[in-house]
Structure 1
Amino acid sequence: MKKYRMLMVLAAICLVAFSCGQPKASTDAVKPAAKPAAPATAPPAAEEQADVGEEEETAEATEEAVAPVEAAKASETDEAVETPVSRRYPAAKAAADDAPAESAGEQAVEGGTPKLVVPEPTYDFGAMRDTEKVTHHFVLRNEGTGVLKITNVRASCGCTTTELEKDTLEPDEEIKIGAVTNLRGRQGPQTKVVTVATNDPETPTVQLRMVGTVLASIAVEPDRINFGEIRDDEPREASVNIKSTVDDVTFTVLSAELTGMDFIEHEIKTVEEGKSYDLIIRTKGELPPGHHNGRMIIRTDSQERSVIWLSISLQVVGPLQIMPPVIHIRYNEKPGEVTSQQLRISPGRITEFEILEVVAPLEDITATLTPSGDNVYLLRLENMPCSDALEDKAIILRTNLEEYPEIEIPFNIARVRVPTRPAGVMPRAPIQLTPEQKEQLRQRKGPVSAKDAEGEAPKEE
């Protein structure tokens, strides 16, 4: 019995020695370093020779023998699952750790957010003569993490021109945008605006301003006339002084002209020959109701300022206030198109009135008059044709007023301008399919459709 036990112990020791002596799996292999270890089993010889009465001792011996094997294999497996490169090549691990961070940084620059910053968006050029030009360069800087793209640069008027170095800015890059304003014909405080549009999500547009005062060699004071609201036909009068502000500049006012406002007349008076003139502007006769805006052209014999523009405006209140004073209809070539509109009629020069009847120029137009308070009416016009059938026509309001028994509300037909094709640009003709192309199309998509058979190219899917 002792011999048998010794044989069992020797067999177990041999098994452990044999297992420990096996070559270790290489951790540098390209294939997965560790595969699940095969379950350890007791030696077949031990199982065959074990007696029934000795099963407990055999089990204990087997557990003692197998435990070191499982521990050794488990240790090998854990070492293979951990990053082998980090243990054997520390430098490679450091490079691997740095690589993702560098890639993320590149992505932040390429797909980041641009941010436009203008250190000085307003330039004050002070006081300058009207014979000079204002030139300034604004600095544009990208303080974001993405590429800044300038999509549009627009000046507020034709007297201002711009020049852009480039339209793309990398992060932390800055450029200059030049702006030039011609001050000829200007006077007094001036503000010129240049609008810059970019792909900055927070500030898609930025306004660059040039402000200052223009000293005109020939000045106009005031530079505009506004008669305000007029509720009667009594004459109104205003005076404009045109004078030289420079000792060596002399001039003569040759003429003044105002078109489209026949109810306004003017007179030129000499204050000081060659130096100062007064322009008297006054209304005359019956004034047509509505808003009136015009520009008077004043011509001189001086090269310093040969043409002077003078704005004139006034609002004439009629016997009744009608809003809108004109019925605007958008022209449509499609037959049968109609539109509707609502008007408000309230007291003007006359505070008390009554509308007796509304007369439409066409029988198909429906006019519905609804009282809306004291001496206030709402007029609903429906079924008005969007054609030239209402050209030079008007709605007639018949009232109880002796001086104004009929009041007209004119129509205005607004036609949309169709853009013309630039010279030399021909319309694109439809693509014609050759018989071979039609056959290829038939084989690919089945029978040719009627549209394809006529020669149109099929749409790409």
Structure 2
Amino acid sequence: MIRIFLMSLLFTSSCFINQLTAQDWAVKMFNKCEHNFGTVARGSDTVYRFEITNLYKQTMHITAVRSSCGCTSATIENKTIKTHEKAYIVAKFNTRTFTGFHGATLTVSFGAPYRAEVQVRVHGEIRGDVVFSPGAVVFGNVDEGFAEEQTLTVNYAGPKSWRIVDVTNDNDNLEVELEELSRSIGKVSYNLLVRLKPNVKVGYVKDQITVITNDPRKESRRIPLFVEGRVIPEITITPETLVLGDVAPGASITRKVVVRGKNPFRIVDINCEDDCFTFATQEDSKSLHLVGITFRPEEKTGAVRVPVQILTDRGNSRGATLTISAKVLDSSKPTPVQEGDSRQAGGISENVQVAGGTSN
């Protein structure tokens, strides 16, 4: 009986180890497998995104994610991941319902062609005595060149001696103003104003500021507050990526792009480091311009990828950038026949191929 039990245990352990080894390829795609939210305020928007990068030649599919605890919800951003593309598992701490120390294990499932499961973990402490309202600084969409402000309230339930002693951030584009509203037995309130400066670059703003208190417990003195928004460009270009395809040496190809502005503007300059490109612009001041782009390759062959910057007469030479790509054919060589898909091998280590090599 003991012998049968030991053999069964050995077999189960062996299966577990083989399964673990077989799924190592999936773990390698994650930037990390654990995150500590730290100490956060009740009602605060507390989110972490686990980054997944497809290192392999095959397209990967995330089929599901489940959480072991109601204190954390999980969602998937981008279920289908092609080679070198990224996906995210978004873990959101439920700070409105839970308080105290909590943690959760998130199980991420990958489907065909290669099935696997990867577990990541989050944990942190939700303070029930400190409440942010609203739970984060959300600027939303902000026009380029304009400032934006958001105000939130910090409420503390506890001793009258509690104070916010400082508010810090490492982002020079954010300004913070703190104002004490009231102080009474059992309750302290502050107004916290966060300002986004007008010189912020176009794109997403994702950062955090830290509220520092005089709590007796050292680990509870620093409370993060998340800041997010998006600066919308005044000048846009369509398409942002211009694909010219195959071009023979000495031949030429012309395409047009559309440049739009929220106000009338003139195009004053176009920066491009490749002399094989020429540009045709319009001198009028208007809110929509058509720019002609001609590519005439000379002797060089192979892939071409060139950034192009279009500058306008708007403040600070605001403009837009596009990327142009093409392939200059080598006329002295015949076009190679594309290789067919390689046949799948039996083992996972042979099937899953690293881009540029084979996964071990």
Which TM-score tier does this pair reach, normalised by the shorter chain?
0.3 to 0.5
Q: Which has the larger radius of gyration?
A: 1
TM-score (norm. length: structure 2) = 0.43
Identify, as 1 or 2, the structure richer in helix. 1
Q: Which has the higher strand share?
A: 2
TM-score normalised to the size of structure 1? Answer: 0.35
